[in-house]
Each structure stands twice: as structure tokens, then as C-alpha cells.
């Protein structure tokens, strides 16, 4: 943070070369947000009693400053604070709040504040390309091989990133050296699951669009840990969009050398999906299918592409759901998403996923999730958003080594879970 503040001071005069100090702050964007978020989660995934309570109910406030885009130099900055209202005994399994552990083993939630993002920016246009460069702490959403954790506060990456776009091209890239988790006040160096240092994560993301066709290629690597690639093709016509997407990840030296328990696949894994989307004036419908391959000698494998422990790999795919990821070895997934816009203030819909066709030691496995979502943004109260999502789900109990619990007859033990997400957000 000290380095960032010094650099901000040094660049400040340049940022105002073409504008007065007053114009700079007049044209800048300021956002203040207050919110209350309730995550009510009951799960039996790791708890054989099926009664684990992962509830987090918090209050939060945020401030965001964004400098004018027309300036050559600038900076963006954000602060966030969150505090507990109520929480369940197993709340710490979600990255919402900090915690401390009492001598008797009880987990106690604690509020905290953090810098959510702080970046120096540079903006210029050359030969039809509109380019933005960033140095500092930045939230990365569907950025190359990376994504962010979104548990009330978003996680962020520290380093150098850039984006440039023209009529047909969109190119993004980054060289990152540290990570700030969603429930952490400070930055941390990248590491493997077993604590080996990862000096950097780099990624490149290239999209080319021509007429109704879109092609995308992504590559990213956590140094000597995992290399992740994405291949995507989409074709849009009339009110429809058809797309295919392949996620492919290779294990590198430090991943291969981990204990078998910590590896979710042995050498490589892939996740392939196809999706059809239909756009109407008041309706949106998406139907899709995906298949995962993640061989693992130790037991049941699953797809993972987090380029360092605790970070979030690009998970913008059908398998990433409200309560879990449907990406076990040989798992087939059918998915449907539907939303209807009733008026300017209200829309609602559902999300359904069913995973099937995979096994563990001869036991047939399956899981599902159904989510009902309601979003209300009253036009008479600008900046207010009310969201409610209720998600019953069913999956199989398993250990922290990812292997399912089997009964005396060799059958998996499924559990019924539930998730209730409520948000009240006011931005002004």
C-alpha cells in the first residue's frame, strides 16, 4: 500500500495536466454503498449429521472513487467494511467474515475493513485501439484464466494488468504477484496448497469478433503449479446465441509433487460445455450441457483451475452454481436458466442443474440444485436493490479428501441442503 500511495502522489500532477484540480474531482465518480446480506446455508456435505449451519448475516459499507476516463493518468480506489449481525457455528467455511478461535475450540466472527482496490491507471488510444493500463490492487472478473471470490466483498489481485479493444478485438493480460482474499484485510503472496511459493501468475485473454462469430482463447499459469487454457466459440443470429467452451488445465511440477490427498486430478483435466441462449424482449432462456474429465488415482477427481491456493480460477461456466460446482470426474450436467422481466422494477426466474452419470467404487452418484431468484429495483427509490434467492439442493456426503462416504452396502449417502440468499443494497 505504501508503494501505491507514493506512486499516486508522483502521478497526481500528470493526471491534471489538461484539467484543473477542480475539474478532475468534478468529473470523477463517487459511489457509497450500504448493504445487508444474509446467507443462510444448511449442508451435510462434510457433516454426517447433515446439520452443519454455515449462515452469515452481515452489514457492510463501501466507498468507491473512479477518476475520469478521459484523463491520460488517474487512479481508482475503494474501501470496504463489514461486520457480523448473526452467524452459524460453521460460518467460517464461507469467506465472508474474519474469525478467532477460543481456547474451547469455538469460532467467533469478527468484523473488518479493507482496501478493496487501489490502482494507478493510464488510458490512451492508438490506431483504433482503446487501451487501459493498471498497476496495483484490482478486482478481476472473468479476466483471462482468473476470476474473483464474491462473498459480500470481492477478492482482488495485485500486479500489472491491461486491456485494449478495437472494433473486432479485445485483448487482456496480466502479471500478478499477490492476492487479497474476500475476508482478508491485507495482501498475501501466492502459494500452493502445501505452502510452496508461487512467484507470479500471468494470463493472456484474446477475443476476436467478426459479423456474428466470436472466437476466444485464454491461457494462464501459476508458476510451476497449474497451466489453464480456455477455448470458446460463439455464433449469434436473430435472438439466439449458440456457444461451445472448453476449459483445459495441466498439472506442473509443484502440483504433481503434492500429496495425493491434496490433488483433485493427476496430470490434466478438462471441462467441455455447449449452451444455447434465447433473448426476448421480456424473457431470457439458456439451456446447456457439460461434461468433466478429471482422472485421479487417489479417488474421485474433480476439475480445478485455481492458479494458486485460495485464489479463484475462471469459473464462468455452467458447472458453477449457487451452492456448489458440478464438476466431478465423468459428471454429466444438464442446466437450464430462465428469467422474466415483469416491468422496469421487477424480474424473477429460476436456475436448475442436474449432475449424473458418474461413479465412485461402483456407487452411482448424482446431485441437483434448483434456485428461485427475485430481483426488485424500485424506480421510485434510485439506487435500491432487493434480492432474494432460495436454493434447495441435493448431493452426496464426502470427506475433505473429496471421496464420498459409502455405507456397508457400498452406496453413497445423499443429503438435502438449502441456501437462502437475501440482499438489501442501497447505492448513492
Q: pLDDT below 50 — which residues of the chain? A: 1-17, 19
User: For residues 394 and 352, is the Cβ–Cβ distance under 8 A?
Assistant: no
In a domain, 131, yes or no: yes
Here the contacts of 362-367 (C-beta below 8 Å, separation 24 or greater) are: 362/410, 363/404, 363/406, 363/410, 363/411, 363/412, 364/412, 365/328, 365/331, 365/396, 365/404, 365/412, 366/396, 366/414, 367/324, 367/326, 367/393, 367/394, 367/395, 367/396, 367/414
User: For residues 238 and 272, is the Cβ–Cβ distance under 8 A?
Assistant: no
In a domain, 225, yes or no: yes
Supply the pLDDT for residue 265. Answer: 98
In a domain, 13, yes or no: no
User: For residues 200 and 146, is the Cβ–Cβ distance under 8 A?
Assistant: no
Instruction: Specify the 3-state DSSP secondary structure of 394.
Output: strand
- Domain containing 423 equals 93-427
In a domain, 10, yes or no: no
Placement of cell 500486479 in the chain: 159
Supply the pLDDT for residue 247. Answer: 99
Cα four-point dihedral sign 400, 404, 410, 415: positive
Placement of cell 474421485 in the chain: 300
In a domain, 47, yes or no: no
Q: What is the 3-state secondary structure (H, E, C) of 258-296?
A: CCHHHCCCCCEEEEEEEEEEEECCCEEEEEEEEEEECCC
Placement of cell 462434510 in the chain: 46
Q: Please, what's the largest Cα pairwise distance for the chain?
A: 77
- C-alpha 66/C-alpha 74 separation (Å) is 8
Placement of cell 478481476 in the chain: 140
CATH number, domain with residue 270: 2.40.160.10
The phi and psi torsions of 14 (rounded to 5 degrees) equal: -65, -35
Pairing outcome for strands 201-210 and 240-251: unpaired
Domain count, the chain: 1
Across 44-187, the runs of DSSP E, i.e. the strands, are: 52-53, 56-66, 73-87, 98-101, 107-110, 112-126, 129-138, 150-151, 153-154, 156-165, 169-180
In a domain, 315, yes or no: yes
- C-alpha 403/C-alpha 346 separation (Å) is 42
In a domain, 293, yes or no: yes
Report residue 271 as a C-alpha cell.
471441462
In a domain, 12, yes or no: no
Supply the pLDDT for residue 45. Answer: 76
The phi and psi torsions of 77 (rounded to 5 degrees) equal: -150, 140
Supply the pLDDT for residue 24. Answer: 73
| CA 236 to chain CA centroid, nearest Å | 26
Instruction: Please give the model's pTM, rounded to 2 decimal places.
Output: 0.91
- C-alpha 258/C-alpha 417 separation (Å) is 32
User: For residues 115 and 126, is the Cβ–Cβ distance under 8 A?
Assistant: no
Supply the pLDDT for residue 21. Answer: 64
Amino acid at each position: 500500500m505504501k508503494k501505491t500511495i507514493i506512486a499516486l502522489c508522483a502521478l497526481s500532477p500528470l493526471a491534471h495536466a489538461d484539467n484543473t484540480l477542480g475539474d478532475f474531482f468534478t468529473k470523477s465518480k463517487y459511489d457509497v454503498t450500504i448493504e445487508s446480506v444474509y446467507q443462510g446455508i444448511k449442508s451435510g456435505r462434510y457433516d454426517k449429521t447433515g446439520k452443519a449451519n454455515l449462515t452469515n448475516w452481515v452489514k457492510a459499507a463501501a466507498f468507491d472513487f473512479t477518476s475520469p476516463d478521459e484523463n491520460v493518468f488517474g487512479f481508482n480506489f475503494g474501501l470496504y467494511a463489514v461486520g457480523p449481525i448473526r452467524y452459524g457455528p460453521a460460518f467460517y467455511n464461507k469467506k465472508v467474515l474474519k474469525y478467532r478461535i477460543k481456547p474451547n475450540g469455538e469460532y467467533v466472527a469478527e468484523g473488518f475493513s479493507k482496501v478493496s482496490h487501489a490502482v494507478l491507471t493510464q488510458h490512451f488510444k492508438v490506431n483504433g485501439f482503446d487501451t487501459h493500463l493498471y498497476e496495483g490492487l484490482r478486482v478481476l472478473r472473468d479476466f483471462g484464466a482468473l476470476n474473483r471470490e464474491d462473498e459480500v466483498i470481492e477478492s482482488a489481485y495485485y500486479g500489472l494488468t491491461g486491456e485494449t479493444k478495437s472494433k473486432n478485438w479485445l485483448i487482456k493480460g496480466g502479471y500478478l504477484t499477490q492476492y487479497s482474499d474476500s475476508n482478508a484485510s491485507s495482501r498475501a503472496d501466492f502459494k500452493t496448497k502445501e505452502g510452496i511459493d508461487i512467484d507470479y501468475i500471468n494470463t493472456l485473454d484474446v477475443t476476436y469478433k467478426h459479423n456474428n462469430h466470436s472466437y476466444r482463447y485464454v491461457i494462464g499459469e501459476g508458476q510451476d503449479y497449474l497451466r489453464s487454457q480456455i477455448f470458446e466459440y460463439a455464433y449469434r443470429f436473430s435472438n439466439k446465441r449458440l456457444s461451445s467452451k472448453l476449459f483445459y488445465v495441466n498439472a506442473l511440477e509443484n502440483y504433481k509433487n503434492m500429496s495425493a490427498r491434496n490433488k483433485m486430478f493427476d496430470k490434466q483435466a478438462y471441462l467441455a460445455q455447449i449452451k444455447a441462449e434465447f433473448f426476448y424482449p421480456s424473457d431470457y432462456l439458456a439451456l446447456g450441457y457439460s461434461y468433466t474429465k478429471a482422472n485421479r488415482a487417489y479417488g474421485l477427481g474433480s476439475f480445478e483451475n485455481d492458479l494458486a491456493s485460495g485464489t479463484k480460477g475462471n469459473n464462468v461456466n455452467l458447472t458453477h452454481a449457487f451452492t456448489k460446482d458440478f464438476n466431478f470426474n465423468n459428471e454429466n450436467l444438464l442446466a437450464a436458466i430462465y428469467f422474466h422481466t415483469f416491468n422496469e422494477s421487477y424480474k424473477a426466474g429460476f436456475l436448475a442443474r442436474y449432475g449424473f452419470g458418474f461413479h465412485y467404487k461402483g456407487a452411482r452418484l448424482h446431485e441437483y440444485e434448483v434456485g428461485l431468484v427475485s430481483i426488485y429495483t424500485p424506480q421510485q427509490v434510485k439506487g435500491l436493490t432487493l434480492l432474494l434467492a432460495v436454493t434447495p439442493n441435493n448431493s452426496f456426503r464426502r470427506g475433505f479428501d473429496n471421496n464420498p462416504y459409502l455405507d456397508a452396502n457400498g452406496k453413497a449417502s445423499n443429503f438435502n441442503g438449502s441456501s437462502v440468499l437475501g440482499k438489501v443494497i442501497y447505492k448513492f
